[in-house]
């Protein structure tokens, strides 16, 4: 079905639904690279006007990628709930925006319709929204998950402690881990990106974190972010696996480029469940995504990168994850050129994920060849804190020495928690207080009070 919209004496024609979506997207380098972006701001406005008139039902009848050739499309269509959709089934995309922003639409209403929404619907409505709209609507839709602690409660924000090391040196990782814990970080997880997929090295890192966690009774969870097949192998070898990690994308072909399928993710999910390591819940999958991944794999089929990204959240939702993380600026300026594009993408991803019932976090980051700096990250950090982000990254000095990119630091987490009054996961905060790392207000206690724990942990780990 084609779509038309006139502005003055000029009429714009869009060949199909995915063309309207692409042309309506805010400017970004990835869509320009793919040759699908609007040629002018006037064409972008025309596409937005056409998109606003599209009935939400259309997205069920006109799949952007054929049902027969893409298992992600099949997942989206087969798992759609007509009952949940009924409440909003009469709306157009423009009407849906108004409904989302209405003061009468509250958390209960957004929760009721979750299974009736498809990624394409939420991607479409996001294209009609200003940044403040994305923040206001997402804030109304908390998503709470549980493993050894509780993430995503309103008024809370967690941190993934990311103690990466360029050679997977256990003592180097342990030192960064202790540093982060002394700053009150790590309630989302202690998560290491390994320098290699060597099973022995992966198991050694998992064992180190688990030994520390048990010794000090830390109510958090660990993860070594290796390929899901390596995690399955580690589970089979008896390694102490908490969260099961995998990068995912929004098309079957893009996922195949990662070496995964829905069936493999199901196998990994079941393997993780079999360990029964969660204490307060059983959400155990950890997924990472990022706009541009489908395009970089030549697997986007003419669909804009933000809509492809939203489709990845349908994959995530299937497996009841503990955490989902959009690594927003990591792929590079070929896909998100500058700080403005990175900021917009982060707000879009958080909004779309939350509406789909996904526990969204964000690696607020950029590569050194992007037109962005730490001030841009401060802005996005603050905006996402207001929007109700589930978790952010805690990287020593905000500079990841293994992945070679810029993210957010332990100090950044202190800043945003302080200015917005955000607390940590309640179980983790109780532990921090018992260890005299924070006081009853959640503020850090002086270094002298923390010294006994720090010295004891250093001695145990053999860190000078």
**DSSP H stretches of helix in 293-445:** 293-296, 305-318, 339-355, 374-387, 410-420, 426-434
The pTM of the full predicted model, rounded to 2 decimals, is 0.96
In DSSP terms, 55 is beta-bridged to 92
Q: Return d(Cα 252, Cα 266) in angstroms, integer.
A: 15
Q: Answer yes or no: are the C-beta atoms of 321 and 285 closer than 8 Å.
A: yes
Q: Is the pLDDT of residue 13 over 80?
A: yes
- Quick check: 392 and 384 in contact, CB under 8 A? yes
pLDDT tens-digit map of 426-453: 999 999 999 999 999 999 997 766 676 7
pLDDT of residue 446: 79
Q: What is the mean pLDDT of residues 135-155?
A: 98
Confidence of residue 292 (pLDDT cuts 50, 70, 90): very high
Percent of the chain with pLDDT over 90: 94
Report pLDDT for 354: 98
Residues 107, 30 contacting (CB under 8 angstroms):
no
- Residue 8: exposure state from Cβ atoms within 10 A (0-12, 13-18, ≥19): exposed
pLDDT band, very low/low/confident/very high, at 32 (cuts 50, 70, 90): very high
Closest by Cα among 292, 289, 375, 386 to 340: 375
Give me the phi and psi of 366, to 5 degrees please: -155, 155
pLDDT value, residue 312: 98
Residue 459 scores a pLDDT above 90: no
Average pLDDT, the chain: 96
| Average pLDDT of the segment spanning 108-131 | 98
pLDDT in tens, 376-420: 999 999 999 999 999 999 999 999 998 999 999 999 999 999 999
Percent of the chain that is helix, strand, coil (3-state, to 5): 50, 15, 40
Residue for token pair 């006007």: 49
Cα(449)–Cα(181) distance, integer angstroms: 14
Sign of the dihedral through C-alpha 441, 446, 451, 452: negative
Cα separation, 111 vs 356, in Å, equals 9
d(CA 420, CA 46) in angstroms, rounded, equals 38
How many DSSP H helices and E strands does the chain contain?
Answer: 22, 14
Structure confidence at residue 141 as a pLDDT band (50, 70, 90): very high
Question: Which of 127-131, 329-333, 398-402 is the most confident on average?
Answer: 127-131
**Average pLDDT in the 280-309 region?**
97
450 touches 456 (CB < 8 A): no
Residues ≥6 apart with Cβ < 8 Å to 161: 177, 180, 181, 185, 186, 188, 189, 190, 191, 394
Beta bridge partners of 158: 391
pLDDT at 78 over 70: yes
Residue 94: the pLDDT is: 98
DSSP, collapsed to helix, strand or coil, labels residue 399 as strand
Sign of the CA dihedral running 393, 394, 397, 400: negative
Six-digit token string for 200: 């022995």
Q: 336-374 pLDDT, tens per residue?
A: 999 999 999 999 999 999 999 999 999 999 999 999 999
Please name the residue that has the structure tokens 């969660």.
Answer: 278
Report DSSP letters for 326-368, one per residue. Answer: EETTSS-TTTS-BHHHHHHHHHHHHHHHHHTT--EEEE--B-T
Whether 381 contacts 416, CB under 8 Å: yes
| Residue keyed to tokens 């779509």 | 3
Give residue 450's pLDDT.
67
User: For the residues 313-325, what does the mean pLDDT come to?
Assistant: 98
């Amino acid at each position: 079905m084609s779509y038309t919209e006139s502005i003055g004496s000029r009429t714009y024609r869009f060949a199909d639904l995915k063309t309207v979506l692409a042309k309506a997207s805010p400017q970004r380098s990835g869509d320009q690279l793919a040759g699908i972006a609007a040629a002018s701001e006037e064409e972008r406005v025309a596409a937005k006007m056409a998109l606003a008139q599209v009935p939400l039902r259309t997205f069920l009848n006109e799949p952007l990628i054929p049902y027969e050739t893409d298992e992600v499309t099949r997942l989206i269509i087969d798992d759609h709930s007509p009952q949940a959709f009924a409440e909003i089934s009469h709306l157009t995309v423009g009407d849906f925006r108004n409904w989302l922003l209405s003061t009468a639409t509250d958390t209960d209403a957004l929760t009721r319709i979750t299974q009736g929404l498809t990624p394409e619907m939420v991607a479409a409505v996001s294209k009609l929204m200003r940044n403040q709209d994305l923040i206001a609507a997402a804030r109304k839709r908390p998503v709470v998950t549980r493993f050894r602690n509780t993430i995503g409660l309103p008024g809370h924000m967690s941190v993934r402690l990311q103690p990466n090391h360029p050679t997977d040196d256990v003592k180097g990782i342990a030192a960064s881990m202790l540093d982060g814990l002394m700053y009150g970080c790590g309630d989302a997880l202690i998560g290491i990106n390994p320098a290699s997929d060597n099973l022995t090295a992966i198991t050694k890192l998992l064992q180190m974190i688990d030994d520390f966690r048990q010794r000090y009774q830390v109510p958090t969870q660990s993860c070594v972010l290796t390929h899901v097949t390596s995690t399955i192998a580690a589970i089979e070898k008896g390694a102490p696996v908490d969260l099961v990690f995998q990068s995912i994308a929004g098309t079957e072909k893009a996922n195949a480029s990662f070496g995964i399928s829905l069936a493999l993710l199901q196998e990994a999910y079941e393997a993780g469940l079999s360990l029964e390591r969660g204490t307060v819940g059983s959400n155990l999958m950890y997924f990472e995504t990022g706009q541009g991944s489908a395009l970089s794999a030549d697997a986007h089929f003419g669909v804009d990168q933000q809509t492809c990204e939203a489709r990845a959240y349908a994959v995530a939702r299937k497996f009841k994850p503990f955490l989902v993380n959009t690594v927003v600026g990591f792929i590079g300026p070929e896909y998100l050129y500058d700080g403005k594009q990175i900021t917009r993408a982060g707000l879009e991803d958080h909004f779309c994920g939350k509406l789909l019932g996904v526990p969204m976090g964000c690696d607020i980051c950029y590569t050194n060849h992007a037109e962005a700096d730490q001030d841009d990250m401060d802005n996005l950090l603050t905006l996402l804190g207001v929007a109700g982000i589930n978790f952010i990254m805690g990287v020593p000095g905000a500079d990841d020495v293994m992945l070679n990119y810029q993210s957010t630091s332990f100090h950044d987490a202190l800043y945003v928690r302080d200015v917005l009054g955000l607390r940590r996961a309640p179980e983790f905060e109780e532990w921090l207080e018992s260890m005299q790392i924070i006081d009853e207000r959640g503020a850090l206690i002086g270094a002298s009070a923390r010294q006994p724990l720090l010295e004891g942990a250093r001695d145990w780990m053999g860190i000078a």
